[in-house]
Amino acid sequence: MSVEQRAPQPGDAATIGERPERFTVISLDGGTVVLESRHGVRCRAGRRVVRVVDGERRQ
């Protein structure tokens, strides 16, 4: 049984795979998501491994 995840949107808090660090979704670029850590480091990850954290959204 799979749990449906909603698609990440800019401003959402998210994690990558099983990593505990939280990122903010900056933008969507084709099949990848551009993320930023709390330290200001940006990275890209595939949409399939990005999980939106429920109840958290940054302005």
Are 50 and 10 in contact by the 8 Å Cβ rule? The answer is no
Q: Is the pLDDT of residue 55 over 70?
A: no
- Pick the residue with more confidence: 5 or 39? 39
- Average pLDDT of the chain is 87
DSSP 10-52: TTEEEEETT----EEEEEEETTEEEEEETTS-EEEEETTTEEE
3-state class of 53 per DSSP?
A: strand
Q: How many CA atoms lie within 13 A of 48 on its CB side?
A: 0
**Tokens at 1, concatenated:** 């049984």
Above pLDDT 90, what percent of the chain?
Answer: 61
